[in-house]
Amino acid sequence: MGTDHVGLLKRRALLSASAGAAMLGLVRPSPLQASPSHRIVVAPGQAPLTGPRRRATDVWAYGGSVPGPTLRVRQGEPVSIVVENKLDQDTTIHWHGIRLPIAMDGVPGISQPPIPPGGSFVYEFTPPDAGTFWYHPHANTLQQLGRGLAGALIVEERSPVPVDRELLWTIMDWRLRPDGQIAGGFGNRMEAAMSGRIGNTVTINGVVPTDEPVRAGERVRIRLINAALARIMALRFEGHRPVVVAIDGQPCDPHEPKDGRLLLGPAMRIDIVLDMQGQAGRRYGVIDDYDEDLEYSLVQLAYDTAPPLRSHPLDAPVRLPRNPVPEPDLASAERRELVLQGGMMGGGGMMGMGGMEMGRAAWAINGMSMTGDGHAGMDPLATFELGRSYVLGLRNDTAWSHPVHLHGHSFRVLSRNGAPVPFNQWADTVFVEPKETVDVAFVADNPGDWMVHCHVTDHQTAGLMAVLRVGKPGKG
């Protein structure tokens, strides 16, 4: 490419920064209200999950909607969120993936006393990282999340990648009865020792989706959030090549996922940039084929008949600015291993629990089962020195897959069964397959008692959870 051409492109890029923005509606940080304070009422409500023609589903909702209101906040600026509990049971909110002080982490008994019915709590924190996060209860999570309590929390970049539009897909999974109401039977012990409560109805932004209208030639950023209790998804965009730009809110080297499939376990987020290279007027499926026998089309990209917005994909960088997550020092890092144990085998017996009585626990980490949603008086499984780097080896000795989540930190995903993980991936929830060991590394820079647990909610509440202490006892 000659220098003249480069100069021309540069000039064109400059032009499009002003004129283009106005003409194409390029996404800019949305204007925020003067005060970055929010109020969320948690209460029973109704949601038209299956469309306007059917009876609405009785749900529990944040701010009267499912999912709850999308909170858009700015990186490095304080937010305050008043949460009022109008349920008839205790609740809390956990700001999943945000690196915040332990007192704001929403774990009952550890971070705060639960918010009683009629009570309220003010969450205040300053998100250090830009990215796609979400919020959900950390009390009676199986029912509260399963009945609709979840919402997106978007921390805006100071300089977002230029795209024509941004979409947010908060994906939830429901087990509905034929009359459209939520089926009971939460916490079924057999299910808890297997795949967890997988539903029969998947919604995007609170409705069973049919079409996502798109325009040929446009570039769209899609923020994908898996807010399901237990459903693991592998999304394929027929006829398209999504580029992953962030995982769990943390930017990575932009890359096309292996086999074009986006693996999205419960609580995981992926930001993609998608050039709409399909044909005007046509439709393309977004397929979830995680379970090959139960493959289904989640939604259709429905192309407008208008001619393409541009003839070539937008010539603009898609790399997001790095967040200020401290880089672990691998040379001095100490290694700790967490062994995931338990669950049903193919034959029906329990695995690797060392003769442990099943009781309420179906799972364990290093032989210890912490059940429920978090509570006071739990001994830490391991203690980490404040400011030191650690490698955590997550070893899955079970026959099931586990999205393992650590509170209060983001970690670098180093390797899977010894093979280096490419593209500089960071995460707060990492998928660990059966018989796999995933090494992650982090700087233990956030003092407190932090939960580490599987985010298949039934697994968490049935024992696949532990406390990791950062700093000295009593300091958390």
Q: How far apart are the first and last CA of the chain?
A: 58
In the set 138, 197, 231, 459, which binds ligand C2O (CB under 6 A)?
138
- Cβ atoms of residues 148 and 60 within 8 Å: yes
The binder of Cu ion chosen from 223, 402, 409, 453 (CB under 5 A): 402
Annotate each residue in 444-473 with x if it binds Cu ion (CB under 5 A) or - if it does not, as one string.
Answer: ----------x-x--x--------------
The yes or no reply on residue 246 touching ligand C2O (CB under 6 A) is no
Distances in whole angstroms, Cα of residue 305 to Cα of each of 144, 166, 213, 239, 278: 42, 20, 11, 17, 11
Q: Does 353 bind Cu ion (CB under 5 A)?
A: no
Q: How far is it, in rounded angstroms, from Cα 290 to Cα 287?
A: 9
Give the bridge partners for 365, in sequence order: 340, 368
Task: Please provide residue 2's backbone torsions phi and psi, each rounded to the nearest 5 degrees.
Answer: -70, 160
Count of residues that bind Cu ion according to CB under 5 A: 6
Among Cu ion, ligand C2O, none, the one that 456 touches (CB under a kind-dependent 5 to 8 A) is: Cu ion
Determine contact, residues 114/94, Cβ cutoff 8 Å. no
Q: Does 407 bind Cu ion (CB under 5 A)?
A: yes
Rounded Cα distance between 161 and 319, Å, is 7
- Residue 267 found at the interface with ligand C2O (CB under 6 A): yes
C-alpha 412, offset from chain centre: 16
**Residue whose CB is less far from ligand C2O, 219 or 407:** 407
Tell which one of 163, 172, 451, 462 touches ligand C2O (CB under 6 A). Answer: 451
- Looking up tokens 């769990």 gives 248
Identity of the residue, 269 or 402, whose beta carbon is nearer to Cu ion in the bound complex: 402
Element (H, E) at 443: strand 437-443
Q: Which of 147, 453, 459, 469 binds ligand C2O (CB under 6 A)?
A: 453
Interface residue with ligand C2O among 72, 94, 223, 409 (CB under 6 A) is 94
Nearer to Cu ion, 237 or 390 (CB): 390
By the rule CB under 6 A, 412 interacts with ligand C2O: no
Which phi and psi (to 5°) does residue 225 adopt? -125, 125
DSSP code, position 166: E
The SS3 assignment for 249 reads: coil
From the CB of 129, what's the least distance to Cu ion, in Å?
Answer: 13
Of the candidates 97, 96, 84, 98, the one whose C-alpha atom is nearest the C-alpha of residue 126 is 98
Nearer to Cu ion, 134 or 169 (CB): 134
Which stretches of the chain bind ligand C2O, using CB under 6 A? Answer: 94, 96, 136, 138, 267, 405, 407, 451, 453, 455
Which stretches of the chain bind Cu ion, using CB under 5 A? Answer: 96, 402, 407, 454, 456, 459
